[in-house]
């Protein structure tokens, strides 16, 4: 009798939903990789580095100034491995460090972090990493080690890009440590500044495998609304026409150039926004672990609607 009940329960398990648009997952804590993978996600559309650095307790710059670059590389390899191994051979886009000065102050060695009046508009992302290339180099060394161990599923994603020159320089540093961008690893940028969105053609000219829309920042910078300020929370909307205009423009231009597109901001975890993005033509979306199933259903709904519309037009 018990078996029969079990069979009945199993029979109601939903069949996996297949979508053409990939549905990936965001990972901030490597320890949560297994749970993220269990969602059936098609890969990791954003692997954040900040948490790895914060849990190590030591400021990345201190590793370097103490002559312990090897330890920094080892720490990164151990953390990234937890994710790329669980997801292999599905792609994992590793985002290089995006460290705002105010958050890294608490770390051992973080007392030297400069005070900034407005850290969100300050020294973070790729602009900071190009000023401190020793940290970017250590990150690339970690990725190279993993690539050499057979983890060919890693992509490198550059945060807070503002000018194509930054992408060029980041690729040069990757080459210096022995990574061949676009050959060994996919290389892409986060589109998080209006500048990157408006100049997407120029970034494409430098060479991109993919872009990911960082709508948390793209919204704050497009609307001039601090994403962490409750006083202006009602002015913050990822669906503001200006933000959507930028998103649509970037997706269209990337599609024309054969560059993969994705989204990893909170908007990518909101089913009604994801439906719109699929309609525009985004090639993948990346959601938080607890949103993957709903987002997958939203993608399927949107794809079915597109197919039906196309079929009706042909009649």
Q: Which residues bind ligand PEP (CB under 6 A)?
A: 46, 48, 98, 192, 214-217, 264-265
Here the tokens at position 2 are 């018990």
- Smallest distance from Mg ion to CB 145, Å: 26
Q: Which of 315, 303, 285 is nearest to 22 (CA)?
A: 285
Residue 268 interacting partner from ligand PEP, Mg ion, none (CB closer than 5 to 8 Å by kind): none
Residue 129 touching Mg ion (CB under 5 A): no
Cβ neighbours for 235, distance < 8 A, ≥ 6 positions apart: 223, 225
Q: Determine the interface stretch with Mg ion among 137-145, 149-157, 190-198, 200-208 (rule: CB under 5 A).
A: 190-198
Nearest to 274 by CA among 255, 251, 257: 251
Task: Name the packing angle between helices 164-176 and 133-148 (round to 10°).
Answer: 60
Site string (195-234) toward Mg ion, x via CB under 5 A: -------------------x--x-----------------
Give the residue with the Cβ less far from ligand PEP, 48 or 141: 48
Q: How far is the CB of 196 from ligand PEP (least distance, A)?
A: 12
Q: In the bound complex, what is the minimum distance in angstroms from residue 120's beta carbon to Mg ion? A: 9
Nearer to ligand PEP by Cβ, of 48 and 128: the residue is 48
215 binds, among ligand PEP, Mg ion, none (CB under 5 to 8 A by kind): ligand PEP
Cβ 216 to ligand PEP, closest distance in Å?
3
Q: Cα separation of 267 and 220, whole Å? A: 13
The candidate with the shortest Cα–Cα distance to 258, out of 207, 300, 218, 214, is 207
Token pair for 217:
């920042």
As a whole number of angstroms, the distance between CA 218 and CA 220 comes to 6
What does the binding site for Mg ion look like in residue numbers (CB under 5 A)?
A: 192, 214, 217
């Amino acid at each position: 009798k018990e078996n029969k009940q079990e069979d009945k329960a199993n029979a109601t398990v939903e069949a996996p939903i297949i979508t053409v648009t990939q549905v990936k997952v965001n990972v901030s804590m490597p320890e949560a990789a297994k749970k993220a993978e269990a969602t059936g996600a098609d890969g990791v559309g954003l692997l954040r580095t900040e948490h790895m650095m914060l849990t190590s307790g030591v400021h990345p710059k201190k590793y370097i100034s103490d002559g312990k670059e090897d330890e920094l590389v080892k720490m990164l390899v151990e953390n990234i491995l937890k994710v790329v191994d669980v997801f292999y051979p599905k792609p994992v886009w590793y985002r290089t460090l995006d460290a705002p000065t105010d958050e890294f102050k608490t770390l051992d060695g973080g007392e030297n972090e400069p005070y900034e009046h407005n850290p969100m508009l300050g020294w973070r992302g790729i602009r900071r990493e190009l000023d401190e290339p020793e940290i970017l180099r250590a990150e690339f060394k970690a990725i190279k080690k993993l690539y050499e161990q057979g983890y060919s599923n890693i992509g490198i994603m550059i945060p807070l890009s503002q000018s194509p020159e930054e992408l060029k320089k980041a690729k040069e540093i990757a080459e210096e440590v022995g990574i061949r961008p676009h050959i060994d690893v996919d290389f892409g940028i986060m589109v998080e500044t209006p500048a990157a969105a408006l100049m997407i053609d120029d970034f494409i000219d430098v060479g991109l495998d993919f872009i990911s829309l960082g709508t948390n920042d793209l919204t704050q910078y497009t609307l001039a609304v601090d994403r962490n300020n409750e006083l202006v929370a009602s002015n913050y909307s990822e669906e503001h026409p200006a933000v959507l205009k930028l998103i649509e423009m970037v997706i269209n231009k990337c599609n024309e150039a054969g560059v993969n597109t994705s989204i990893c901001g909170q908007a990518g975890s909101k089913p009604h926004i994801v439906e719109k993005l699929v309609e525009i033509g985004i090639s993948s979306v990346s959601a938080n672990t607890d949103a993957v199933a709903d987002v997958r259903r939203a993608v399927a709904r949107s794809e079915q609607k597109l197919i039906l519309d196309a079929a009706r037009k042909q009649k």
